[in-house]
Amino acid sequence: MAKLREGKLYQLLKESNNADEVFDACYNHAYSGKDLNARDEETGENFMHLLAEEIRHFTSARGVGIIYLMACKGVDLDIADINGDTFLHKICQKPHTHRVLVSAIR
């Protein structure tokens, strides 16, 4: 297990306001060959939990495409963190995420 919150991608999600930069980084991550279902050793979260935390990047049409891409690439949307929350639980708790929810469950 890794510490996902210490990685470069998480820092970019947290700090960047550049939609193109975030999109490109997530797209590259999806095709990097890395385990997209890797879990954080402390929180039990996977990459999708981190996206849910920074959902502001993914409510646009282009951002929703990243969520759809991840779902199509085989990311397990049912992985629960240590609190029992999945990606879907987390995005349902945030406003303006209807498009993200639809793209994730297609």
What residues does each domain of the chain span? 4-105
On the question of pLDDT at 1 being above 60, the answer is no
pLDDT of 24-83, one tens digit each?
999 999 999 999 999 999 999 999 999 999 999 999 988 899 999 988 998 999 999 999
Answer for the pair 32, 75: CB distance below 8 angstroms, yes or no. Answer: no
What's the pLDDT score for residue 45? 94
CATH level 3 topology of 4-105: 1.25.40
Please state, in angstroms and rounded to a whole number, the distance separating the CA atoms of residues 101 and 103. 6
Question: For 5, which DSSP code?
Answer: G
Q: What is the DSSP string of 26-72?
A: HHHHHTS-S-TT--BTTT---HHHHHHHTGGGGSSHHHHHHHHHHHH
The 3-state DSSP class for residue 103 equals: helix
What's the pLDDT score for residue 28? 95
Rg (CA), the chain: 12
What's the pLDDT score for residue 83? 96
Please state, in angstroms and rounded to a whole number, the distance separating the CA atoms of residues 51 and 13. 8
